[in-house]
Structure 1
Amino acid sequence: MDFGVDDDDEVYTSEADEADVGTFTAEKTRSDYEVDFRVLDAHDIRTMQHDRARQVADILGISTEHSAILLRYFKWNKEELIERYMDGPETVLQKAGVITDDSTAPRVMPAPAGFCCDICCDDEPGLESLALRCAHRFCRSCYEDYLRKKVVNDGESRRIQCPATHCSVIVDERTVERLVPAAVYTRYQMLLTRTFVDDSPQLRWCPAPSCEYVVKCDVPQAALRTVVPTVQCRCGTTFCHGCGLEDHLPCICELVKLWLRKCADDSETSNWIQANTKECIKCHSTIEKNGGCNHMTCRKCHHEFCWVCLGPWSEHGTNWYNCNRFDESSSKDARDSQARSRQQLERYLHYYNRYANHDQSARLDKELHTRTEKKMEEMQRTSSLSWIEVQFLRVAVDKLYECRMTLKWTYAFAYYLTRDNQTALFEDNQRDLEMAVEALSELLEKPIDPTHIKELKQDVLNKTSYVAKRRETLLEDTARGLMEERWKYQVTL
């Protein structure tokens, strides 16, 4: 998926940026489901603002301070600003609150004779004062206090207007810097940075708590029906740049929103389906799931079954595996409205059950990290493997979690797909990944046999590699289907 990078971006691309985790180079062959993106810090964002303001200033023949005010008025849409300005510069300047007369540039100076500040009513001779190009003059102390309250108390930065009543002239950045203390100006710049990111569709804050990085991705909103723009911040957080939610490959943003809304609406059903216990289908003993693996063994009767579909586990590693598919044949008997409603509920529960199960399993697999640490220490004690050599367990757990999250969203995607040959192929890939994930999950939860550590390592490495390949196959095929518009949905987007 190739979306071009603006010419503006060349200004703030550095060698450090090229080495960043989010920048793809020619050395990496990008998959169909991957997109170009760049991770930026506060300095990069300020550089972007200054460069864009300088470019517009050069084109329109105005100062950088004025071009910045105009850009903020147009939410940094450079093309729209230039087009509107060329059609009627006076109208644009007036609406944006800009006066370009340099002869009346704002500067701190002694108040003229007969001056009285309209805010504090101080008329002391020689009082320091300042007026914007609108000529509304106030004493420096009142102006500073006004700006401080706007920045610190109101969190305002984009469009701080002249203190005079009904005056729409905007205080420029240089004037703010001249009047307020350094700490207030720092906050002012931070607020400007935040508004710049919020106004720029190519930029999005990393959703991780306390993370201050921004990710730039040039996938337009119009392309979100054919692309899932998954990005990774420098802090390691992976998320969707299109909607800001967690990584939901391979499901597109619109379907994710529909699915989450449906799950929220069917809250009672969700509460029921999320129950942590089920009964053994053979002896009816209550069983609680305490791990990510779906291979259940009843401690009472030793019956082995699948937690998801409650079917015999013996069928889940063979061609008889059919746990991921919904049986559409039952809909043929749904002749009246009540039967159709029941059949629709059963269909929803089929997909939600598997969606919620993989979500729960992913959380449990994440907790597997703690147990894995102990296994790694045990392997070091009972074998000749070093700490580096036992890292394959951590890699396997990370890959298992990643694949669980992918499988989780495949069920949300499959719920909205129209039944056809393409859907059958998707479910084949889904089934293959699910079988591989369950095999790896079961292997990782087994206790370590000190006499077979080398065999265990090779088995884990092989299954981790296979799981990664199955995930790649599923995501590649789904991404190509999105680009080729092969997928047909049961809802209108």
Structure 2
Amino acid sequence: MDEDSDPSELEAALYDDDDDEVFDADDLDAVAGEDDDEDGEVDIGGVGGIDDDDAFTHDIAGKNRLKNYEVEYTCLSIEGLQQQQKKDVDHIASMFEIKDTDAAILLRHLNWNKERLIEKYMDNEASLKVQAGVLDDHPKRPKIHKRKDFTCSVCFLSAEDEDGGEMETLALGCDHRFCKDCYQHYVEQKIREEGESRRVQCMQEKCKLVIDEKTIQLLVSSPIYERYMTLLNRTYVDDSSVLRWCPAPNCENAVECHISHKKFKTIVPSVRCSCGHAFCFGCSEQAHGPAVCPLVKEWLKKCKDDSETANWISANTKECPKCNSTIEKNGGCNHMTCRKCRYEWCWICAGPWSDHGNSWYNCNRYDEKAGVNARDAQAKSRAQLERYLHFFNRFANHEQSARLDRDLYSRTEKKMERMQQTSDLTWIEVQFLKKAVDTVTECRMTLKWTYCMAYYLERNNMTDLFEDNQRDLERAVEELSEQLESEIDPTTITTLRQKVTDLTVYVARRREIMLSDTAQGFEEGRWEFNVGLGL
């Protein structure tokens, strides 16, 4: 849209054919990303999330309801993870009237699956405790005792060798007693060098009793105990099917999302950590809607390994029919002479050149039943390579454009400062530029993954619909990106602000349509792929 666009043209740009209604900036604030949390914590929601306290209010307003391509999730800090663990431990300890340390060991044994633990405990309590490494009916907690007439079976030092004729010792409920120094060295080695936490067992050979957290605290120094607790928190997330660590560098948050593993074939569980990093809960890759995890896995593997190198060789080289040497055609002539065996043959049909004479054009008349036609195989391989490069180049282009658009942030900030100086706009009012950059970057990442999905789509009417949505989003993104790159004219700031704001809303709406229709297509089973979606 140019500067002379009249209101009717602007209205048409914001018209949504699917819903038969006109969207203005106020109606689409949520689409354009105004649901971001001020304090950076995401409790429930899609990309932006909503606070627990405000969930009911927002739902009534209808502004932050989850779209069909969004999933519900919760972002948890280390403190939040510890609180969840304590809550589960207290629940099990009170239910079965056991020590909290034993409850924690039982939960870790079954990967914090409370329902499974309750079922197994009710079925065979004694057997479960043996498997988990918990001593049945032992209410006393281990303590360090000083003993006389004691010799450690590990270091063979006796109490007589110690000052005062007493040696500090420790025994678990199994009564396998060792000196404190040996126990401390053993536990510290397990934690520091082996990274073990959930199953640090008794020192006695073949004894499976697990050392609980409070006993560990008795034995080790504070730094070692802190590492031990960090390892426990990590295993809590790693063992859980509904928790994932945020993959952003130096981020210690985790995200909880109750989406079944089987649904990753039809749902893209995009989440955003409170640190701001968006990623896929299913595979921990960057957020890759609308392509589902199996397609992303296939695509990344295809882009990373040597499969396309082999495809290029197949498309651009052939083997000598006589000695099987690999030959690359370096000229326009189809008369090939093998440098190794000097055999002369035709590049098109791989037949002997002596049979061609002046009628080499007729080499396509060879018997088709004699084998695979070399020219057909060559053309097919070349077509596969060209098809891959078509999608990969566009995939890579949007990735690069997204990186370049991020560089706009610094330039945009300078533009915003100039706008304040050359107009009566406040700092809040010039934030529309930053919002536009955010929208463009987000949409480019979406477009990037549409090419991954399009590569694997079977060609049919549904594919045409997908590509139409893809084209409309791409066109809108390019128009907004062009506006952001333009120089600021103080005399047209008001017009520019209105145009960029309207385009930002429209681009965000096109992205929503793209993702929403794709998600609905997965739900209805209308997408067909040329690869399997096994996980």
The two structures have a TM-score, normalised by structure 2, of: 0.73
Q: Which residue type is aligned with residue 22 of structure 1?
A: G
The answer for the alignment partner of 1:102 in structure 2 is 138
The answer for the alignment partner of 2:346 in structure 1 is none
Q: Which residue type is aligned with residue 293 of structure 2?
A: C
Out of 324, 333, 357, the position equivalent to 2:397 is 357
Change (3 A) 1:461 1:87: same
Question: Deviations 1:438-486 (Å, cap 9, x if unpaired)?
Answer: 1111111111122211111111111111101100111111111112222
Out of 49, 65, 79, the position equivalent to 1:22 is 49
Out of 434, 443, 446, the position equivalent to 1:394 is 434
Q: 1:370-409 counterparts in 2 under 5 A?
A: 370-409=410-449
| Partner SS state of residue 215, structure 1 | strand
Deviation at 1:83, TM superposition (A): 3.2
User: 2:525 matched to 1:485?
Assistant: yes
* Largest Rg, 1 or 2: 2
User: 2:479 matched to 1:439?
Assistant: yes
Q: Could you tell me how far apart the structure 1 residues matched to 2:299 and 2:66 are?
A: 29
User: 2:279 matched to 1:252?
Assistant: no
User: 2:157 matched to 1:122?
Assistant: yes
Deviation at 1:87, TM superposition (A): 3.8
In the alignment, is the contact (CA less than 8 A) between 1:403 and 1:471 conserved in 2? Answer: yes
The answer for the alignment partner of 1:70 in structure 2 is 106
Residues 87-96 or 153-162, more deviating:
87-96
| Partner SS state of residue 178, structure 2 | strand
Q: Could you tell me how far apart the structure 1 residues matched to 2:224 and 2:230 are?
A: 10
In the alignment, is the contact (CA less than 8 A) between 1:23 and 1:38 conserved in 2? Answer: no
Superposition CA RMSD, Å: 2.4
Change (3 A) 1:119 1:374: same
| Partner SS state of residue 110, structure 1 | strand
Out of 81, 84, 89, the position equivalent to 2:125 is 89
Deviation at 1:17, TM superposition (A): 7.2
The answer for the alignment partner of 1:339 in structure 2 is 379
| Partner SS state of residue 397, structure 2 | helix
Question: Deviations 1:226-272 (Å, cap 9, x if unpaired)?
Answer: 211111111111111111010101110110000000111258769x9
Out of 186, 194, 200, the position equivalent to 2:234 is 194
Deviation at 1:421, TM superposition (A): 1.6
Q: Could you tell me how far apart the structure 1 residues matched to 2:178 and 2:42 are?
A: 45
| Partner SS state of residue 109, structure 1 | strand
Change (3 A) 1:335 1:488: farther
Change (3 A) 1:459 1:266: farther
Out of 170, 188, 194, the position equivalent to 1:148 is 188
User: 2:64 matched to 1:37?
Assistant: no
The answer for the alignment partner of 1:302 in structure 2 is none
> Which structure is higher in RCO with an 8 Å CA cutoff and minimum separation 6?
2
The answer for the alignment partner of 1:457 in structure 2 is 497
Q: Could you tell me how far apart the structure 2 residues matched to 1:380 and 1:412 are?
A: 42
| Partner SS state of residue 94, structure 1 | helix
The answer for the alignment partner of 2:198 in structure 1 is 158
Q: Could you tell me how far apart the structure 2 residues matched to 1:195 and 1:149 are?
A: 18
- Percent pairwise identity: 52
Q: Could you tell me how far apart the structure 2 residues matched to 1:18 and 1:491 are?
A: 36
Q: Could you tell me how far apart the structure 1 residues matched to 2:504 and 2:85 are?
A: 44
The two structures have a TM-score, normalised by structure 1, of: 0.79
Q: Which residue type is aligned with residue 361 of structure 1?
A: S
Q: Could you tell me how far apart the structure 2 residues matched to 1:466 and 1:23 are?
A: 23
The answer for the alignment partner of 2:216 in structure 1 is 176
Q: Which residue type is aligned with residue 32 of structure 1?
A: N
| Partner SS state of residue 102, structure 1 | coil
Change (3 A) 1:335 1:53: farther
Residues 137-146 or 192-201, more deviating:
137-146
The answer for the alignment partner of 2:15 in structure 1 is none
